[in-house]
Structure 1
Amino acid sequence: MKKLLPIVAVTLLSATAACSGQSTPATVKPGTYRAVLKTKGGDLPFGLSIQPTAGDPKTYTVFALNGSERLPMDPAIVQGDSIRIPMALFESELVAKITDNTLRGVWRRRRTAQQYQTLPFEAQQGLSYRFTADTKPASANLTGKWAADFGSKSGKVDTVNAVGVFEQKGNQVTGTFLTPTGDYRYLDGNVVGDSLFLSCFDGSHLFLFKAKHNAATKTLTGGFWAGVSGYESWVARFDPKAELPDPTKLTFLKPGSKTLNVSFPEPNGKLVSLADPRFKNKVTIVQILGSWCPNCMDETNFLSPWYKRNKQRGVEILGLAFERSPEMAESGPKIERMKQRFNIDYPIVLAGTNDKAKASKALPDLNAVVAFPTTIFIDKKGQVRHIHTGFSGPGTGKYYDQYVEEFNQLIEKMLAES
């Protein structure tokens, strides 16, 4: 069970800034930091790039670094002897005391109105390695595809519920795990001897993977820690032909249904329906998402600029947001923050909560809501033509490129229809 702390307990650190008595704020040394979260699985490392904001000595521009990803955090603020690095979209933040080239404090994420999850956090400027500063060659090269079984009871790959895709250079490894509901985003790490270490921090998700490599059996056996208290064992075998179930066959219309019958409110209270004139005779993409979901954000980061380039061609997008709270007063501002962050022009409505069973009831034309995100393609006649469960984000490399190509081909085909 996740340990939840009252808001009073986790605001003490930021309060030290106000009570520190310092007449001028501390200064954060700019550059790259090696950051670490103290989790039950051990240190979870990630990178931070911190630079002063031009013209404002109290704020800093911060990026979380995972592999090739530079994920922008919200503007960081220095108050007294502390820095606060927020990620408002995910209702999380890093708060730390500044001491020379070191930051020490906590990461915290809001779960309910009065409760937060927290983990100790520290970062040191000038360090850029992930798990080890040792650059000597590893004893194993894990480049390639791995058929993985998370939660394996036998210690063997009985069910392929994920596919690991890794690229190793020296002892440095990047890659991700593909699953039927999405991917684990940008993973970054090292191979140390016969052991694999991978991690990711994106403001919401905290992933730590550890595994031992058996050269004789070409297998990896280890553990996966997520968030504050999540844990699963996992095992994987090297398999260049490893594949997941077809993502276009997991979610489908129930017999007798031809389209989605939906009517939900935007944050301003306006009801939006696919029967509205805006969508008539248009190729329409329905995006099932949540502001709390990093995979959904990856998809939104693709769809928002795509829509700007193509909306004059007779296409529309409607976002169905399933949030942690069904109350508009709670979830409406989160939807608006998401729209602002990704500069979204298309409507996003509050469709319900992110419980998959409840989300499925909100969309009775579907067999089930299997994953966030799920993307539904509707033709000019208003009929559902294609449903894609999950999303392979840019951290998956060629799988993302393949999705984008297939997405554009399908849209072109539907636009060409009379």
Structure 2
Amino acid sequence: MRYISPVAFLIICIAVIGCGRQPVDLQNGIWRGTFQTDSTIEIPFNFEIYDSAGVKQIAFINGKERLNINEVEVRDDSVFFKTPLYETEIRAQLNNDGLEGIWLRKLPNLTQRMPFKATHESDWRFVKEPKPSSADVSGRWSVIFSKANSNDTTLAIGEFEQDSSMVYGTFLTNYGDYRFLSGELDGDVLRLSAYGGMSPSMFMATVDGNVMTGDLYSGPSSHSTWEAERDPDAELADAYSLTKLKEGYNTLSFEFQDTEGNLVSLDDERYQDKVVVLQFLGSWCPNCMDETAYLSSFYKKYRDRGVEVIALAYERYAEIEKAKKAVSNLIDRFDMTYPVLLTGYTNKQVLESLPAMESFNAFPSTIIINKEGEVHSIHTGFNGPATGQAYVDYITQFEQTINELLNE
């Protein structure tokens, strides 16, 4: 056997290590990511990696919105982006070209998956150098979404702003909005997308004057077609007319547990002679997050004036501990200082848990109760910040109603 001196052995070891794979850093800056659907359609989005107090953070960028997430973990060449509210996660491997891995969404009975890739220093979304726009899509559009291979249709309103080829906006429906969308008009092709931790979505359409026709892709497999016509007077159904109590009822009665196991009822002394806002939500619901962000600040402003807020949470899990964990994430995220009650399992149990209600159409929904304990109004859906003036109008009307009831 040939003898190797300790010094020579050390030199060989260093050489071997030096020739091995060099560590790759998760670089700060703007990234361009893509998810691939089951039909191989790529849904792009942008995000920023940055440091906060020496810890890596990620912000999903959609138009005017930055959704900051601090659940970033880097282990060697593996990276994990977690969004606890929606129970989604991106698992990827760092390489010299960027990131490559998979997006996961955990549901009670299955786990959805989509391939994921991302490249650094890429602030463009769909097309790096789009062709000059052949139209201007700014303004209000009347829209019909049609579910693929189904007779299901949904009426909507498209609201867009265009700056050269860049386009921002959203779609409003009777049950909520599609939140912040951003993209561009490439010649006569409109492309918009969004990712904020829930299912990624992408809208594509060909623009022909005052008409658009296209496709909507959401998550791994959801596909709809859509048609739009420019209509500055487009309107949706009155959001206060969609959800009602049964005939002969003007009050609600319930008793549910909060996250600490305490029973809460409208008959409690805390709610007597108060204006009470009931918020129907689920931690899985993006529009509910927008409403929660607003109501959290609203409550801090109005609670000393005689207003109480109660959130009725309907989670995806029938198991109480799993539901409690999901709700606790929600409370922490939005610093909720009003009670969140564990009331049921998805929207199928809303009518079972509240027998006085004749119908229930969407999360979120909001009920305002006057100081006498009577239901004053029920609002279906929520126009979030992405809807612009619609959001301002709703908040203005909501707070005007609260002030009127306080002054009765």
TM-score relative to the length of structure 1: 0.88
- The answer to which of 378-387 and 304-313 deviates more is 304-313
For 1:227-376, what aligned pairs fall within 5 Å after superposition? 227-354=219-346, 356-376=347-367
Per the TM alignment, residue 362 of structure 1 is displaced from its structure 2 partner at its CA by: 1.8
Per the TM alignment, residue 127 of structure 1 is displaced from its structure 2 partner at its CA by: 1.0
Native 8 Å contact 2:154 2:173 kept in 1:
no
Distance 1:326 1:238 in 2: 44
SS in 2 for 1:381: coil
Q: Which residue in 2 is equivalent to 1:138?
A: 133
Q: Which residue in 1 is equivalent to 2:48?
A: 49
For 1:209-224, what aligned pairs fall within 5 Å after superposition? 209-215=203-209, 218-224=210-216
Native 8 Å contact 2:145 2:225 kept in 1:
yes
Native 8 Å contact 2:146 2:154 kept in 1:
no
Partner residue of 1:109 out of 105, 110, 116: 105
Distance 1:204 1:103 in 2: 20
Q: Which residue in 2 is equivalent to 1:4?
A: none
Whether 1:31 aligns to 2:29 is yes
Distance 1:160 1:92 in 2: 27
Give 1:80's aligned amino acid: D
Per the TM alignment, residue 75 of structure 1 is displaced from its structure 2 partner at its CA by: 2.7
Change (3 A) 1:335 1:25: farther
Per the TM alignment, residue 309 of structure 1 is displaced from its structure 2 partner at its CA by: 1.9
Whether 1:74 aligns to 2:46 is no
Per the TM alignment, residue 26 of structure 1 is displaced from its structure 2 partner at its CA by: 4.4
TM-score relative to the length of structure 2: 0.91
Per the TM alignment, residue 159 of structure 1 is displaced from its structure 2 partner at its CA by: 7.4
Q: Which residue in 1 is equivalent to 2:115?
A: 120
Distance 1:152 1:94 in 2: 28
Partner residue of 1:178 out of 172, 180, 199: 172
Deviations along 1:55-76, whole A, 9 cap, x unmatched?
3xxx411110000000112331
Q: Which residue in 1 is equivalent to 2:86?
A: 90
Change (3 A) 1:381 1:196: same
Q: Which residue in 1 is equivalent to 2:202?
A: 208
Deviations along 1:215-234, whole A, 9 cap, x unmatched?
2xx21111111111111111
Q: Which residue in 1 is equivalent to 2:371?
A: 380
Give 1:291's aligned amino acid: S
Distance 2:311 2:23 in 1: 42
Distance 1:23 1:377 in 2: 61
Distance 1:181 1:411 in 2: 22
Change (3 A) 1:41 1:48: same
Native 8 Å contact 1:26 1:79 kept in 2:
no
Q: Which residue in 1 is equivalent to 2:191?
A: 197
Change (3 A) 1:261 1:135: same
Size of the aligned set, in residue pairs, is 386
Give 1:168's aligned amino acid: Q
Whether 1:64 aligns to 2:63 is no
Q: 5+ unaligned residues in a row in structure 1: which ranges?
A: 1-21
Give 1:97's aligned amino acid: Q
Per the TM alignment, residue 54 of structure 1 is displaced from its structure 2 partner at its CA by: 2.1
Q: Which residue in 1 is equivalent to 2:404?
A: 413
| Identical amino acids, percent of aligned pairs | 40
Per the TM alignment, residue 53 of structure 1 is displaced from its structure 2 partner at its CA by: 3.1
Q: 5+ unaligned residues in a row in structure 2: which ranges?
A: 1-19
Aligned-residue RMSD, C-alpha = 2.0
Q: Which residue in 2 is equivalent to 1:163?
A: 157
